């Protein structure tokens, strides 16, 4: 059987997932795999080892051709979905693919059922599900989202839709849409090898007595980066003297002016370290070992976060919002402190809890369950079923 791994983006988790499927494909000598990815893959691929095998090949497309320049309206989103479906049809026909796995499955709805040949089936991951969306979305937007799930549940084209880390929601979606296509799938966590790490506190001149809070990854509005800075500015002089905050990751353009303005003010209040660059796994490991807590008070709580895996591996608590899937996972696996809303007072309260040791340190249960091997096992069990 010819299988496509099709993805519109290839950064972050998408690159990791591609590698997990690639390693699974290397062991699957019964099938041939083609990885259809954006050309950006050429720049990023060296972050992983891609051992050559004769049953896997790559075909890279120019992702700029697939990007709409229209405003982000419903019409533009539908146009983009049409373009995605056409692009996928081209590669399905080119390789006579009988099965497609995609991390961007939802982008194929609603047009793929009308364009993809009948001999092919689609399966893949859905990251955002409407069950966790609040009142900030319009009725039209919510209805269109629900229609996408209706398409997936009723169209024969779709073989399986994986919901990451959330068996409850997968079961609920099956009940709502009278389907069996929605399945839970572990969000695979790759443990960081504890080699090559360094003494983060020593490198950045952070005193051992300081309570260190770490904010990882891209600095964005959705990760409440600016709210964290605001809470630093609201600290008392005594608290500020006892704390240190590390921001490790690239600052996105959308918040840069405000971020650097607040950062300069925060540095006058307390010890703040900024590592404005892509961080290696050695950087992550070193900071995880050095910190006392990981800051994940994200606004988008409908998805999981790779950082809770690091919290589990290194036994460091997270500070997160008590809502959505992220809040559910933090509560289920006892990964840290939950706040009801991201504001200065709630964040300061969480900082004090970390400082006073009022919390249990996370166990390794989360990263043991959400392992790459279990992810690969479940995906391959559906591939084995062929086009049934």
| Residue 194 pLDDT | 65
User: Which pTM does this prediction carry?
Assistant: 0.82
- Measured between alpha carbons, how far is 31 from 12 in angstroms, rounded to an integer? 27
Count of positions (residues) in the chain = 388
Q: Please answer whether residues 50 and 82 qualify as being in contact, where contact means their C-beta atoms are separated by less than 8 angstroms.
A: no
Helix, strand, coil distribution of the chain in percent, nearest 5: 45, 20, 35
| Residue 68 pLDDT | 47
Pick the range with the lowest mean pLDDT from 9-18, 130-139, 214-223, 241-250: 130-139
The pLDDT tens digits for 331-385 are 999 999 999 999 999 999 999 999 998 888 999 999 888 899 999 999 999 998 7
Q: Please answer whether residues 337 and 351 qualify as being in contact, where contact means their C-beta atoms are separated by less than 8 angstroms.
A: no
pLDDT tier for residue 135 given thresholds of 50, 70 and 90: low
Please say if the pLDDT value at position 69 is more than 80: no
Q: Which of 231, 242, 228, 247 is nearest to 270 (CA)?
A: 242
Please say if the pLDDT value at position 66 is more than 60: no
The mean pLDDT value for 51-67 works out to 84
H or E element that contains 121: strand 121-126
310: its two tokens: 């690091």
The mean pLDDT value for 210-236 works out to 95
């Amino acid at each position: 059987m010819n299988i496509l791994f099709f993805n519109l983006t290839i950064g972050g988790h998408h690159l990791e997932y591609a590698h997990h499927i690639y390693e699974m494909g290397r062991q699957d000598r019964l099938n041939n795999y083609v990885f259809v990815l954006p050309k950006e893959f050429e720049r990023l691929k060296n972050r992983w080892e891609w051992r050559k095998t004769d049953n896997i090949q790559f075909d890279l497309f120019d992702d700029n051709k697939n990007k709409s320049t229209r405003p982000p309206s419903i019409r533009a989103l539908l146009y983009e979905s049409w373009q995605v479906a056409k692009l996928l049809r081209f590669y399905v026909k080119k390789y006579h693919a009988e099965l497609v796995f995609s991390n961007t499955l939802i982008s194929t709805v609603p047009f793929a059922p009308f364009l993809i040949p009948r001999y092919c089936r689609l399966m893949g991951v859905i990251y955002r599900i409407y069950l966790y969306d609040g009142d900030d979305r319009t009725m039209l937007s919510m209805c269109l989202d629900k229609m996408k799930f209706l398409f997936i549940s009723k169209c024969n084209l779709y073989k399986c839709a994986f919901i990451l880390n959330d068996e409850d929601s997968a079961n609920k979606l099956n009940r709502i849409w009278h389907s069996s296509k929605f399945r839970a799938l572990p969000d695979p966590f790759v443990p960081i090898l504890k080699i090559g790490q360094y003494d983060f506190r020593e490198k950045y001149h952070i005193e051992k007595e300081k309570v260190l809070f770490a904010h990882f990854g891209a600095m964005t509005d959705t990760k409440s980066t600016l709210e964290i800075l605001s809470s630093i500015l609201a600290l008392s002089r005594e608290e500020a003297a006892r704390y240190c905050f590390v921001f490790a990751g690239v600052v996105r353009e959308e918040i840069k002016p405000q971020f650097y303005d607040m950062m300069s003010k925060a540095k006058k209040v307390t010890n703040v370290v900024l590592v404005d660059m892509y961080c290696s796994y050695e950087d992550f490991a070193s900071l995880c070992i050095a910190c006392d807590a990981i800051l994940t008070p994200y606004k988008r709580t409908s998805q999981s976060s790779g950082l809770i895996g690091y919290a589990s591996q290194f036994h460091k608590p997270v500070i997160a919002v008590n809502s959505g899937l992220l809040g559910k996972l933090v509560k289920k696996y006892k990964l840290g402190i939950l706040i009801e809303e991201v504001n200065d007072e709630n964040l300061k309260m969480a900082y004090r809890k970390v400082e006073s040791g009022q919390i249990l340190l996370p166990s390794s249960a989360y990263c043991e369950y959400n392992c790459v091997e279990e992810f690969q096992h479940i995906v391959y069990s559906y591939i084995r079923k062929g086009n049934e």
